[in-house]
Amino acid sequence: MASRTRSSHQTKTDILIGIMSICLYILLGVTFFVCLSINNVFLRVVNRTLATTLLTFTAMTIAMHAVYGGFEVGRKKNKPVISAMIGSTVITDLVTYLQLEIMNVNENYNERLTLFGPDLLCLLLCMVLQILIIVLFVRVGNQIYFSYTPPRSCLVIIGSPSQEADMRAKIGRYYLQWRVDDVVLYNVPDLTRRIHNADVIFLGNVPEGAKFALLKICYDDRKDVMCKADLEDIMLSNARPAIVDDAAFLAMEYNKITFFQRFVKRLGDIVLSVLALVLLSPVLLVIAIMIKLEDHGPVIFSQPRVTADGKTFIIRKFRTMIPNSSQNDIQVSVAENDPRITKVGAFLRRYRLDELPQFYNILVGDMSMVGPRPEMIANVARYKKKLPAFVYREKMKAGLTGYAQIEGRYNTSAEDKLMLDLMYIESFSIWLDVKLILRTFTVLLKPDSTQGFERSPGLTGRQQAIRKKDSTRGFQKFSTQSQTVYREDNQVRGYRSNINSPPVSGNHGVPRQSGPIRSYQNIPVQNIKQSTNSEKEEGVKIYEYNASDHGRRSGVPVWREQANRQNRSERRDPDGVFHS
């Protein structure tokens, strides 16, 4: 009886949301035509221009619905639905506006194409009104849906206790949609009864034989299942049905990308990268100036990354951290509240603007517009050791965008990155590339898309503790034409006021230094200059680095202290990790 009542409520809610969806699309169309008819009187009467414009708007609405998903209230949170709806509506408006302005070019109206005339103001007004309408409908729609549809009872089946926290965290983000009532191991004796009592079954990583047995039980009991994908699932998900004689097979084709697809994909990369570099050149110039003014350091950050077939290339991004913060023997990913990130860098990373120089990598063929995320060499080696299947990402060239970049976050686990990238590789098509490119801008509205790791991969517990401790220590940074200088107050650190006194030592007899000074490596002795007398009297330590002479030597990170450098030999950081 309870199940029948719930089904009745679900049907009524679906009908109501369907009616709201139809009303929303009609209202968006009416808003467009009303606003554009202010200066285009022929849109007020039935004629060829009105019919063509209406057909273009309708076709684009259907196409963008296929790309972005449409009015998916009850299945997604407000922000993803709003961003998807705004993206589809803006693109629909722009294409329809372009078609309308082209039709306006005639001897009776306009002698030439005018894209930035009075109609543009009407279009901007239309977009503002449409965004307000979308926000209102999505918020009201989700509120109505979840007021009539309580969270569904979930049973989570896992293969080991260590999976419970992660599964609860992921499902818990959708607390209005799902409610975790039970978490059990796959081999508990009364599992069939538990499955029968739940509405939705979540399957974690369980042994292969047990997974198929559980799927059969759920299928027999007509239960909805959310099964965490593994490598075999991804490989079979896009297999082509085939019949050999009278037997059914699943055909898995290794080389799915045809010569024509490769040609079109590469041609698209060249065209889009050239357009992006030309159209965004003013933005690139402004960002470069902002970075240069902040600390006078280099504008572009370069680092080796891995692409198709395990080949390496030099990726180019706008620098978002203090100069040379990752030029050391151990590459470390960004952590949460990472003190290496500059103020300008935080803004650039928030809106993914630091990745704009990668259009150059795409133009020269190092990367593609769509593909697996280009990982650091150190991370790839670490991930392959833990997940040997991580090598399958190298079947395609690294890309600027993709499933992992859109749906994942910066701190998404290696296993989940692998599954997202394999989903793209195994389902590749030119149309999928188009969809992912159009969906990329929605990442800008996801505040957690650039969330760093709680703990940087590759750091030991002691190294991570040092980094967190270092992040609380203040440095006053200033620059000259040839070097970046960091001043550290000795009293804050507990050093003696006399700059010439030997520093307090920590483990292994190495001074307890920290912060930006460790971010510089391979610094030649002649580039570390003596403090002035006035600076010595102030009781501060000065660290200088001449960027023009950086990189002449190779080796592990090296630091120098100005005072007493004549009496000390070169010392290495015992942790082998930069801190800043």
pLDDT digits (tens, 9 = 90+) for 138-151: 999 998 888 888 88
pLDDT digits (tens, 9 = 90+) for 117-145: 889 999 999 999 999 999 999 999 998 88
SS3 103: helix
Q: What is the pLDDT of residue 214?
A: 92
> Which of 106-115, 261-270, 382-391, 393-402 is the least confident region?
106-115
In SS3 terms, 170-238 reads as HHHCCCCCEEEEEEEECCCCCHHHHHHHCCEEEECCCCHHHHHHHHHHHHHCCCEEEECCCHHHHHHHC
pLDDT digits (tens, 9 = 90+) for 41-77: 888 888 888 999 999 999 999 999 989 888 888 888 8
Beta strands in 20-160 (DSSP E): 152-158
Q: What is the pLDDT of residue 569?
A: 37
Sequence-distant (≥ 6) Cβ neighbours of residue 222 within 8 angstroms:
none
SS3 310: helix
Residue among 473, 493, 574, 507 nearest 541 (CA): 493
∠ Cα 400 402 405 (to 5°): 80
Q: What is the mean pLDDT of residues 246-253?
A: 84
Q: What is the pLDDT of residue 2?
A: 53
Counting other chains too, the contacts that 162-167 makes at CB distance below 8 Å and 24 or more residues apart are 163/204, 163/205, 167/202, 167/204
Judge whether 493 and 540 are in contact, CB under 8 Å: no
Q: Pairing mode, if any, of strands 540-546 and 483-489?
A: antiparallel
Q: What is the mean pLDDT of residues 203-223?
A: 90
The overall average pLDDT reported for the chain is 76
pLDDT band at 201 (very low <50, low <70, confident <90, very high): very high
- In the chain, the percentage of residues whose pLDDT exceeds 90 is 34
d(CA 140, CA 161): 39
Sorted by where each starts, the structural domains of the chain and their CATH numbers stand as 2-148 (no CATH), 152-228 (3.40.50.11060), 259-445 (no CATH), 461-572 (no CATH)
Task: Identify any residues that bridge with 251 across adjacent strands, giving them in sequence order.
Answer: 240
Report if pTM > 0.75: no
SS3 421: helix
pLDDT at 91 over 70: yes
Q: What is the pLDDT of residue 480?
A: 34
> Which of 233-237, 385-389, 408-412 is the least confident region?
408-412
Does 1 or 417 have the greater pLDDT score? 417
> Which of 395-399, 451-455, 548-552 is the least confident region?
548-552
> Which of 92-106, 201-215, 313-327 is the least confident region?
313-327
Q: How far is CA 413 from CA 205, 355, 423, 455, in A?
A: 15, 21, 15, 12
Q: Phi and psi for 512 in degrees, rounded to 5?
A: -80, 75
Residue among 399, 477, 496 nearest 440 (CA): 399
Alpha helix (H) residue ranges in 391-483: 403-407, 414-426, 430-439, 461-470
Q: What is the pLDDT of residue 310?
A: 87
Q: What is the mean pLDDT of residues 150-173?
A: 91
Residue 447 has what DSSP assignment?
Answer: T
pLDDT band at 16 (very low <50, low <70, confident <90, very high): confident
